[in-house]
Structure 1
Amino acid sequence: MSLEFRITDAFTSTAFGGNPAALVLLPADHPRRDDTDFLLSVAREFNQPMTAFLTAKDAGDEPKYAIRWFTGLQEYPLCGHASLAAAALCFSELNSTARRVQLEAAACILTADKLDDGSIEIALPQDLSVFEDEPVPSEAKAAVKDANAALFDAVIEMRKIKIGWLVVLDSAFDLEHAEINYVALQSCLGSYAFTQARLAPSAVGEAIFSRVYHPFSSTPEDFVCGAAHCSMVPYWLSQSASARLPPKEGGWTHSTPLKSLQGGPRQGMLAVRWDKEKGLVALAGSARIVMKGEVLV
């Protein structure tokens, strides 16, 4: 039984930008639907940053899909960019009249909304561990210094987050074009989210810029990382950090939307907001389907 697939670039309107994901339509009656080893093998064959498997559950006004996320190495409990890509496929091809779709995973249920401007917004659980005063081990600091000494000199602070470390940099440092030795980051476990305020934003008007590395991953640089934004957005919209953002009429509050640009050679743009009361970080962006075909095994 063959399986339809799409390769979709998330958080971009331009082909070959943003963060790519493979999307595989997995029928409920497929004989290997629950075969994790098979799904992992398919993901490994695609060799994309993430592969998502979608199974239709309810085709009503608010369609529901079961979703699982895999890299070529393991299954993940959550992936933001592949979820936005999956929602884009639902809205563009599978349920073209729907305005909302639910993606149901083992550990969570994500809601994706189609906005009036055509972009898609997904809401992920916030990560407030960024506000805990957990000491940063010397090994993590040394890893950053070995990855790029000039970058280390620009560090304002490092904070522990769920996926690893949030590394806040001075705005004057050229993070966008920096050469970061991700192998050096392997000396201390965890991912590294490098972020800075953009006092001189580009034409797209971003307020923050970031690059994220998972040094042990098959794709070390994460071109657009939803999980990192779950801690990054609350951090930047907190009272202390927002003072370093570009000036804004009326000032910044925790509910103020902002634009975030992420990536080095390949970049994605997000419109983000923090729903502090609901404990969610909302990420909005576009997606572009660039390939389609069939898995023939």
Structure 2
Amino acid sequence: MKLPIYIVDAFTGKLFGGNPAAVCPLQEWLPETVMQNLAAENNLSETAFIVQEGDHFRIRWFTPSTEVKLCGHATLASAHIFYTELGYSKPEIHFESLSGLLKVMHQAEKVYTLDFPANPPEPITKIPEGLFEGLKIENATVFKTSFDYMVLMPDQRSIENLQPDFASLAKVKARGVVTTAKGDDVDFVSRCFYPQSGINEDPVTGSAHTIMVPYWSKELGKTTLSAVQLSKRKGFLECELKENRVLMSGQAVTYLKGEYTI
């Protein structure tokens, strides 16, 4: 059986930037073991599988080692493929997921806005094993959400200078660890680490911004924010907190079109 596959660089306007995701449209679901093996074979931070269900689509995301409940960049990448390759023409596309209904609006050529549920972080005092050791820091304010821990760093330079010990960081019992600080030229910056999910550092993480945007919106007293994820590939997001939803806008570029055989 031959099936289509696309690879898209998301949250970037140019190739080799942002975060690459594989997009696999399906007529019907493959066995979970097959989807997990395909994601491992692709060896990207996420592979998205999509099946149409009535007037909407259902999306599932797999890292090289596990299925995850929410992924922003692979959702943006999937919408991009539906609009540019699969003939979808409505102004927005809806995906049902393990995190509920997700919407993507087509704003302009190769520009999309994700509409995701906000995931406000809660401060904690009990620091999990491996967190400070993994980040090689002595102290910081730490928050927790249903997915990740979020660590508040003093400034952008401290984010840029992080050299994590991923073996220690993998001991943290969560999907991963988000580090963030106020930005020099944007409202906030971040880096995101997910060794627990088979990804040491994710280049651009839309789902992490559903955590950071509520925090920085309250901290800075504004609902519209600009953000940069400071990975080597970098990602640029325009964000808005709208009641209990986070809107994230970014570009996407198709890198590869092909097919896989199973």
When normalised by structure 2's length, the TM-score is 0.91
1:52 aligns with 2:48: yes
Give the letter aligned to residue 5 of structure 2: F
CA contact (8 A) 1:222 1:263 kept: no
Give the letter aligned to residue 283 of structure 1: M
CA contact (8 A) 2:202 2:231 kept: no
Q: Matched residues in 2 for 1:226 and 1:196: separation?
A: 16
| Number of the residue aligned with 1:194 | 179
Report the Cα offset of residue 172 of structure 1: 5.8
Give the letter aligned to residue 231 of structure 2: G
| Number of the residue aligned with 2:26 | 26
| Number of the residue aligned with 1:280 | 245
* Equivalent in 38, 45, 49 of residue 42 of structure 1: 38
Report the Cα offset of residue 87 of structure 1: 0.5
CA contact (8 A) 1:136 1:159 kept: no
Moved over 4 A (4+): none
Report the Cα offset of residue 96 of structure 1: 5.0
Aligned CA distance change for structure 1 residues 273 and 71 (closer, same or farther; 3 Å): same
* Equivalent in 212, 235, 240 of residue 268 of structure 1: 235
Q: Matched residues in 2 for 1:97 and 1:187: separation?
A: 45
Structure 1: which 5+ runs fail to align?
Answer: 243-251
Report the Cα offset of residue 114 of structure 1: 0.8
Q: Matched residues in 2 for 1:269 and 1:70: separation?
A: 23
Larger radius of gyration: 1
Aligned CA distance change for structure 1 residues 39 and 118 (closer, same or farther; 3 Å): closer
Query: Sequence identity, in percent?
Result: 28
Give the letter aligned to residue 289 of structure 1: T
| Number of the residue aligned with 1:95 | 87
4-13 or 163-172: bigger deviation = 163-172
CA-based RMSD of the aligned residues comes to: 2.0
Instruction: Give secondary structure in 1 for the equivalent of 2:195.
Output: coil
CA contact (8 A) 2:5 2:22 kept: yes
Give the letter aligned to residue 194 of structure 1: T
Give the letter aligned to residue 80 of structure 2: A
| Number of the residue aligned with 1:223 | 203
Residues 197-228 of structure 1 show CA distances to partners (whole Å, capped at 9, x for unaligned) of: 11x31xxxx21110011122221111111222
| Number of the residue aligned with 2:136 | 148
Aligned CA distance change for structure 1 residues 146 and 214 (closer, same or farther; 3 Å): closer
How many aligned positions are there?
261
Residues 60-82 of structure 1 show CA distances to partners (whole Å, capped at 9, x for unaligned) of: xxx63222211121222221111
CA contact (8 A) 2:5 2:258 kept: yes
CA contact (8 A) 1:147 1:183 kept: no
| Number of the residue aligned with 1:247 | none
Q: Matched residues in 2 for 1:44 and 1:172: separation?
A: 33
CA contact (8 A) 1:111 1:122 kept: yes
Instruction: Give secondary structure in 2 for the equivalent of 1:115.
Output: strand
* Equivalent in 153, 157, 172 of residue 173 of structure 1: 157
| Number of the residue aligned with 1:249 | none
* Equivalent in 238, 257, 264 of residue 224 of structure 2: 257
